[in-house]
Amino acid sequence: MKNVKILDCTLRDGGRIIDCRFPDDEIRDLASRLASARIDIIEVGFLRDWHKVVFNGGSTFFTGTDQISPYIDKSKGHSMYVAFVDYGMFDIDSLSFHDGTSIDGIRLGFTHKNYQEDRAGVISWAQKIKDKGYKLFIQGVNSLSYTDKELLEVVDMVNEIHPYSYGIVDTYGAMYAEDVDRLYGLLDRNLLSDICIDFHSHNNYQLSFALAQEIIKLSEFGEREVIIDATLGGMGKVAGNLNTELIADYLVRKKLYDYDLDVILDCFDDYIYKYSLSYKWGYSIPALMAGIYQSHPNNVIYLTEKFRLDSKDIGKILSMIDPATRQRYDYDNIERLYIEYNSGKVDDSDALGELNDMIGGREVVVLVPGASLNTEREKVDAYIANTDAFIISVNFVADSPDVHAFFGNQKRYGLLKSKRVGRGVIISSNVKSDTDTDIIVNYNSLIDRGYKYFENSTMMLLNLLRRLDIKKIAIAGFDGFDSDKGNYADQSFQNDRHKSEFETLNAEISDMFGKYEKMLEGKCDISFITPSRFDKQGK
């Protein structure tokens, strides 16, 4: 069974890199040639609100379906023509009835925020499109932003609306094969069988072609039709899209479909190639960063073009943007974060070299200020006495003058000023040093802003040790947080105001530490001297 359809969205999603400013003859000829190549579905552009957009030709930002009619030849082949509507960005009441002279279908895109805040409105728009006689394609933007439970709720809504298709949308090019397997399986088991599953990807990880093949393979276990979105030459913002010519060639060679690859290649040579000379898309490190952080491409473009940042710095600044905000773009916010980021950025290569020399390949013992440092004091002292370890305390100054103190917290650093005199001190660059003897390491390299409590000083120190040549780490006092008892060896650390956050804090540290252990597996031996809720081996 030939259950796969190609949807070419060059004139819409591909066109975003040129603000959809295609000449009229080009729009008309591309649509005609794609139909001649037997592409199943041709997306000719956006429908936008006529109150805000003026259509004068030379663009695929249309404000009415009648404007699209001159660009498509309905007598050529059996291709379906569609346009894309973003929820809230079109005057849905101005949509004319389908009369067979213009587009056949409308793709309705909505965000997770749209769905949460105005589900009824999304349903209303979808129903109006169907009532006007168009095939309805529903595209829930950024499928990865939904939990499985939320996605099942969306599926219930989609089944009730009963559109032509529903999309798995990799808006930020952040999917791996396991994501596709999970999402397709969830949809295939719960979506009505006559609703197509559409797959729209971006190529940030260079996986679009592989993931499209995965979708096709998964679809072969059932009767469901699938739609694969693509653009000529992969044309699109930043990383671009799946290449139409690649997926068409695959289906011709491997599945015996009858797309005309020669016509498709001519489309690229005659029209798209010239854009590739003036506009860059495809794999790049900034595109990778946009995928990792699921960020709107405009954020990446702005950081790249205005600040000319190193690639790692782009990633760090993207991580500073709240995940929901990251999916939009706010240039004022980016500039503020750029200034904040650079205020804490230091070149710590000399500091790392100094630390490596000081440690000299020895085991490192990390003393965390948990209550077990007191209750298990003899055990900790005996361990240290029996090893030639380099010892580092976290946010406190130990009794022994041989112990170095690490501070990732400005308050603890300031409170212990007198105790720090004459001691070896390491600080992260977010802490303002009051002496020229501190060893300062780059704060941004020690944190993972994907977590709410990314500034946990113990994890910051462990991340620092990961940057050094350490083969063995032993940890004491890394107890975790318990709302029913004191959590610190030094009661000045205790802050009962945050008891309500302990459960989340424990969960996040457990996740961070679990990933840390896996990352260093086989490279560094990590053990616990005292009991810890984060010690999976000891439980």
Could you give the CA distance from residue 111 to residue 114 in angstroms, rounded to a whole number?
5
User: Could you tell me which residue, 374 or 275, shows the higher pLDDT?
Assistant: 275
According to the 3-state scheme, what is the secondary structure of 171-221?
CCCCCCHHHHHHHHHHHHHHCCCCCEEEEECECCCCCHHHHHHHHHHHHCC
**Does the pLDDT of residue 91 top 70, yes or no?**
yes
**Could you report the per-residue pLDDT of 213-237, keeping only the tens digit for each?**
999 999 999 999 999 999 999 999 9
DSSP string covering 330-349: -HHHHHHHHHHHHHT----H
For 289, residues 6+ apart whose C-beta sits below 8 A from its C-beta are 295, 300, 311, 314, 315, 318
Please measure the distance between the N-terminal and C-terminal CA atoms of the chain and give it in whole angstroms.
Answer: 52
Residue 242 near residue 208, CB atoms below 8 Å: yes
**Does the pLDDT of residue 285 top 90, yes or no?**
no
Predicted local confidence at residue 265, as pLDDT? 95
Question: Which residue type sits at 205?
Answer: Y
- Average pLDDT score over the chain: 91
Question: Which residue type sits at 368?
Answer: V
**Could you report the per-residue pLDDT of 388-430, keeping only the tens digit for each?**
999 999 999 999 999 999 999 888 899 999 999 999 999 998 8
Predicted local confidence at residue 93, as pLDDT? 97
Could you give the CA distance from residue 297 to residue 59 in angstroms, rounded to a whole number?
21
Predicted local confidence at residue 338, as pLDDT? 73
Categorize the per-residue pLDDT at 344 as very low, low, confident or very high, splitting at 50, 70 and 90: low
Tokens of 524: 């560094």
DSSP string covering 396-412: S--SSTT-EEEE--HHH
Instruction: Name the phi and psi angles at 477, rounded to 5.
Output: 80, 10
**Does the pLDDT of residue 273 top 70, yes or no?**
yes
Distance of CA 349 to the CA centre of its chain: 29
Q: What percent of the chain has pLDDT over 90?
A: 73
Categorize the per-residue pLDDT at 116 as very low, low, confident or very high, splitting at 50, 70 and 90: very high
